[in-house]
Amino acid sequence: MAFTSPAKDYEEKPLSLDSRYIQRPAATFFAQIDGNGFSADGILNGAIAVIDRSLTPKENDILLCVIEGVQSIRRLEVRNGRRYLSTPNPDFADILAEDNDDVEVWGVVTAVVNEFRSH
C-alpha cells in the first residue's frame, strides 16, 4: 500500500533568480561591484548587480553610470528640480546629471546578489 505525502499540497515551484530578478531579458545585464561605497544600501564589494537598461531612472534609484569613461554606481537625487548623481563617499562630489556630456546612464540597478562565502 502506498501513501501520498501530506506535503504534496505544499510543493512550490523551484526558486529561479532569472524569473525573480530579470523582467526584461533583452534589456538586462549584470555587473560586478568593485568597492564598498554603497555598503549601507546592501551593495557589497564583489556583489553582482542586476541592471535593467529599459527602465527610466527615477528619484532615489541606484544607477550604473559611466562618468568620464569610468563605470560607477550612483544614486539619482532631485534637488530644486535638478537631477544629481550622488554617492555616500564624501571624497566624491555630486554630479549634475542634466546636459552633462561626461555622464552616461547605463541602467537602473534592480537587485544585488552578495556572496558570503567565496568558491
Contacts 24+ apart (CB under 8 A), 75-79: 75/38
pLDDT tens digits along 58-94: 999 999 999 999 999 999 999 999 999 999 988 888 9
Q: Does the residue 69 lie in any domain?
A: yes
pLDDT tens digits along 7-57: 666 677 788 888 888 999 999 999 999 988 898 889 999 999 999 999 999
Q: Does the residue 29 lie in any domain?
A: yes
Q: Does the residue 118 lie in any domain?
A: no
Domain region containing 80: 24-113
State the pTM of this model. Answer: 0.83
Q: Which three cell numbers stand for residue 57?
A: 531612472
How many domains, the chain?
1
The CATH number linked to 76 is 2.10.109.10
Query: How many angstroms separate the CA atoms of 98 and 77, rounded?
Result: 12
List, as one string, the DSSP characters of 5-64.
-GGGGG--PPP-HHHHH-S-GGGEEEEE--SSTTGGGT--TTPEEEEETTSPP-TT-EEE
